[in-house]
């Protein structure tokens, strides 16, 4: 069974064959106060969704995977909407008001940081940084080293440049608006992600000045302070450049969505899942797959979805918090939510299975059939144009086309019970609460309002009549 998820970190990060960093002394601060003007939205930037959850939620998941001593989120624009959307008792929320730059933001978190160890700075709008990359960066920060995550870009426009000495040592970070012409020619850029020794952090932050084009307190200025104080500044690089890409516009958000989905699809393929087109699948949660699973184009998986061996998912199907047992096939354009599907079932096309439904093995739910909060036992079938709501259906039951369980009286829901080996004829209404007992047959076109006797044919129809001499109306001639 393949299960793709964030890899959990151990309690210590390895530096070399003989030394470790104790991450119990690691503080993580996530800067998430930005406005995001280019998003053109009332929603705070860090709450915009990527793969079905907010950008900031991705960063928090990565931070938790490192098992730090403390996680602190600095928020600002959007006010209380940000912590409210991501309530977590284990996270310290600190508001930055007003927003005066990254250095000022980190200063707001100082009261919550330990005096020893180190602080890892992450960003709420940089969602795809991997745990392995961050472990590598933390490992670089041995013996009170200042560690920066940097990357080489063909086009470094808009980013702060890494300035190095003739010996290759990092000496400063210069923001593009403050850079000289020669510094703008540097292609190694600052990602903003860094690990800072806590012993020096408070002193450096209080020395920051806003003598720059933006009149802001740049966190990057502490690099030059570290060099001046004789603290070694080292750099590490991500496994993939896109891990450090931030979101400032809907275009960038869409680009990252495709990267995320492409990487997820690649993992599925590497573990033997057959994808009709890796570019046309969306996973907005976690997807677990057994052997010989086949997924057609345009499918969406939300929440926690598990597909066991041999499951086939047809085109443009949506599965949300669903378990599908081995050998089942879901035909195109079906929607299944918060339900369990047994072995060797046949679902769809155009079927809808709503929350609270449990289908046993070899159940057939056909085209334009809706099932809600119902239990259907082994071998039962509803192949055409039916609604089954709040029902318990036994084994080997046949539900005819156009059958409806009338479960709602305008105020309350009521249950329909259909026992084993029942045959329900087409165009039948079962008015709940009602029980159709074992072996019953319901004649087509019936409205059933009382419990039926077992092994009996039950009918409820108006008497058929033929009217002699009746003439069908004809259209009047036009003048």
Whole-angstrom distance, CA of residue 383 vs CA of residue 198: 66
Q: Which residues pair with 371 in a beta bridge?
A: 353, 388
Peptide bond into 413 cis (omega under 30): no
The yes-or-no answer to whether 2-244 and 250-458 have a common fold is no
Q: Which helix (H) or strand (E) holds 266?
A: helix 250-270
The domain defined by 250-458 folds into UDP N-Acetylglucosamine Acyltransferase; domain 1 (2.160.10)
Long-range contacts of 256-263 (CB under 8 A, 24+ apart): 256/50, 256/127, 256/128, 257/50, 257/51, 259/128, 260/50, 260/51, 260/128, 261/51
**pLDDT at site 384:** 95
Strands 346-347 and 364-367: parallel
DSSP 307: E
What is the CATH code for 2-244?
A: 3.90.550.10
The whole-model pTM stands at 0.89
Phi, psi at 303, each rounded to 5° = 70, -140
Whole-angstrom distance, CA of residue 150 vs CA of residue 189: 6
H helices then E strands: how many in the chain?
8, 42
The segments of the chain whose pLDDT lies below 50 read: 5-19
C-alpha 3: how far from its chain's center? 14
Of 167, 189, 179, nearest in space to 212 by CA = 179
Q: Is 464 exposed, middle or buried (0-12, 13-18, 19+ CB in 10 A)?
A: exposed
**pLDDT at site 1:** 63
Max Cα distance, the chain (Å):
111
Among residues 240, 271, 384, 414, the one annotated as catalytic is 384
CA atoms within 13 Å, Cβ hemisphere of 465 = 6
**pLDDT at site 18:** 36
**pLDDT at site 143:** 74
- For residue 271, indicate whether it is catalytic: no
Whole-angstrom distance, CA of residue 145 vs CA of residue 137: 11
DSSP 200: H
Question: CA-based angle 86:90:95, to the nearest 5?
Answer: 60
Q: Which residues pair with 435 in a beta bridge?
A: 417
CB 449 within 8 A of CB 466: no
**pLDDT at site 130:** 96
Question: CA-based angle 380:398:424, to the nearest 5?
Answer: 145
Whole-angstrom distance, CA of residue 143 vs CA of residue 419: 72
Domain ranges of the chain: 2-244, 250-458
Contacting residues for 163 by C-beta, under 8 A, at least 6 apart: 170, 171, 172, 173, 174, 183, 186
Strands 118-123 and 188-197: antiparallel
């Amino acid at each position: 069974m393949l299960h793709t998820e964030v890899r959990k970190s151990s309690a210590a990060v390895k530096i070399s064959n003989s030394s470790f960093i104790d991450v119990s002394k690691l503080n993580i601060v996530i800067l998430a106060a930005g406005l995001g003007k280019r998003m053109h939205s009332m929603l705070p930037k860090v709450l915009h969704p990527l793969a079905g959850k907010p950008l900031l939620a991705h960063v928090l998941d990565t931070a938790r995977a490192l098992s730090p001593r403390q996680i602190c989120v600095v928020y600002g624009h959007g006010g209380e909407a940000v912590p409210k959307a991501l309530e977590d008792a284990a996270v310290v929320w600190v508001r930055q008001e007003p927003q005066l730059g990254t250095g000022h933001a980190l200063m707001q978190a100082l009261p919550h940081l330990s005096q020893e160890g180190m602080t890892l700075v992450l960003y709420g709008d940089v969602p795809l940084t991997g745990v392995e990359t961050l472990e590598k960066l933390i490992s670089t920060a041995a013996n009170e080293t200042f560690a920066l995550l940097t990357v080489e870009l063909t086009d470094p426009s808009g980013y702060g440049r890494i300035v190095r000495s003739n010996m290759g040592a990092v000496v400063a970070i210069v923001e593009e608006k403050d850079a000289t012409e020669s510094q703008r020619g540097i292609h190694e850029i600052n990602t903003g992600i860094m690990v800072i020794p806590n012993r020096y952090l408070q002193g450096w932050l209080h020395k920051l000045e806003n003598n720059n084009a933006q009149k802001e307190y740049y966190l990057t200025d502490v690099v030059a302070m570290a060099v001046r104080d004789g603290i070694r500044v080292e750099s590490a690089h991500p496994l993939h450049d896109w891990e450090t890409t931030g979101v400032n516009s809907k275009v960038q958000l869409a680009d990252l969505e495709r990267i995320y989905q492409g990487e997820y699809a690649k993992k599925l393929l590497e573990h033997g899942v057959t994808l009709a087109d890796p570019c046309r699948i969306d996973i907005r949660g976690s997807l677990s797959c057994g052997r010989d699973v086949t997924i057609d184009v345009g499918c969406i998986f939300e929440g926690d979805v598990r597909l066991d061996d041999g499951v086939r998912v047809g085109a443009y199907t949506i599965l949300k918090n669903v378990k599908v047992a081995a050998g089942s096939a879901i035909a195109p354009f079906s929607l299944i939510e918060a339900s369990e599907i047994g072995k060797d079932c046949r679902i769809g096309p155009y079927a809808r299975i709503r929350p609270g439904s449990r289908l046993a093995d070899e159940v057939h739910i056909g085209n334009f059939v809706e099932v809600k909060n119902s239990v259907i036992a082994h071998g039962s079938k509803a192949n055409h144009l039916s609604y089954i709501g709040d029902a318990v259906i036994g084994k080997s039951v046949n539900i005819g086309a156009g059958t409806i369980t009338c479960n709602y009286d305008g105020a309350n829901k009521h249950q329909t019970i259909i026992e084993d080996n029942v045959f329900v004829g087409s165009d039948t209404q079962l008015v709940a609460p009602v029980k159709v007992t074992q072996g019953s047959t319901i004649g087509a076109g019936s409205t059933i309002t009382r419990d039926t006797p077992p092994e009996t044919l039950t009918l409820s129809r108006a008497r058929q009549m033929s009217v002699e001499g009746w003439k069908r109306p004809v259209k009047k001639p036009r003048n």
